[in-house]
Amino acid sequence: MRFECGNIKHTIEIYDGWFKTPNTAFNSDSKVRKLEKQLHTEILATLMPDLKKKIFKIAGVDFAFKDFTVTFKGTTSFDYAPATISGQVDHFIVRDSSGTTQKLEVISGQISPQPLPFKVGSKKYVLETFEWKRLGRLYDVYFVVHD
């Protein structure tokens, strides 16, 4: 994998989920290897999104699924002081193959963000941003789309 930030480019080699260190060795610590494998799985799910996989919430990136695209547009915060109502809204755009778009907003605050059902054509899907029983905690880093 090649990462770029500004003018700096850095290549990280990954073999079967193991990250090659700068001295061309691999980490031998089992805890580190477990984390590396998890990160590798999450990077692949983000680069090749699919239903029922954790995807990093990266603003402005179009995540292409089979029949539609999901774009995380970012998060806005709200605070209705002096009342104690505050929270945030995650903004998503879903675009089907014909170009039709729908805005999805997941609100969190006094209660946890709830699963948000949506439809693309006649198919029903659910956007999860807090927790999903199959993959555990998602909030505030990931989202999952499932049917």
Residues 6+ apart with CB under 8 A from 135: 52, 53, 54, 144
Give residue-wise pLDDT tens across range 71-92. 999 999 988 878 778 889 999 9
Same domain, 30 and 83: no
Question: Could you list the residue range(s) of the whole structural domain that residue 125 is in?
Answer: 51-146
Domain count, the chain: 2
95-111 pLDDT, tens digit each:
999 999 999 999 988 88
Task: For the full predicted model, state whether its pTM sits above 0.75.
Answer: yes
User: Looking at the structure, do residues 42 and 59 belong to the same domain, yes or no?
Assistant: no
- Residue 141 corresponds to which tokens in the numbers above? 């880093």
User: Domain check: are 22 and 57 in the same one?
Assistant: no
34 and 69 together in one domain: no
Distances (CA, A) of 92 to 9, 22, 40, 117, 131: 30, 38, 25, 13, 17
- Cα separation, 91 vs 142, in Å, equals 13
Are 75 and 141 members of one domain? Answer: yes
Share of the chain above pLDDT 90, in %: 48
Asked if residue 90 lies in contact with residue 113, where contact means CB atoms within 8 angstroms, the answer is yes
Q: Do 66 and 137 fall within a single domain?
A: yes
Same domain for 11 and 43, yes or no, is: yes
